[in-house]
Amino acid sequence: MPPEDDAAEIYRRQGFGGDIGAVAPYGLLLVDFAVAFVDPELFGGGNIGEAAGHSVGLLDHARSAGWPVAHSQIVYGEDGADANVWLEKIPAMRTLTAANPATEFVGELTPAPGELVIRKTVPSAFFGSALTPWLVHHGVKTLVIVGCTTSGCVRASTVDALSYGFRPVLVSDCVGDRSLQAHHASMLDLQAKYASVVDSAALLAG
């Protein structure tokens, strides 16, 4: 195996890590803050519970500021008609149907009337959904992203947000992963290549 590299130093030397900044209007995307992904006995663990707790104040701020707010959740059909290749990697997610209470949003992060709810069967909240035109309709330029997991659905949604021309801002204490190793590696990589990263205190102060 090759020796371990200092990823941060490699990125710095090669010119990665520029700040794409934040430009109003803002929107907020909460990725998969459902019971299943906060509960360590199901698909949760690591720092996901802490991320969900920190996201409550940010959601309140977004609502008070009039930001468009979107939520995503993984939900498969009862009849299995929408089963896909992803389930071959994680067969247990087939249990996440509308009838399963674990697909419901965490109480304090439940969508309010007028907020977009995206049901998805793939990692990215953008893939095959109405999220892009909805954000464009609301004039969003900077998309603040929180949720789980950092290395999975948050990462996929962040890369797609950038690809569609939005400015992604990841809130460092409001994203989490069942694997802290995967979380830290993904945050380093996302900040270097795809997003601005701030903590909730700095974002709310700004």
Is there a catalytic annotation at residue 153? yes
Cα-to-chain-centroid distance, residue 160: 11
Q: Which residues pair with 146 in a beta bridge?
A: 30
Coil, strand, or helix at residue 49?
A: helix
Q: Which residues pair with 72 in a beta bridge?
A: 31, 118
Residues 50, 169: Cα–Cα separation, whole Å: 19
Angle, to 10 degrees, between the axis of helix 7-14 and the axis of helix 180-193?
A: 10
Q: Which of 153, 156, 171, 197 is catalytic?
A: 153
Cα-to-chain-centroid distance, residue 134: 17
* CA distances for 10 relative to 3, 14, 16, angstroms: 13, 6, 9
Annotated catalytic residues are: 153
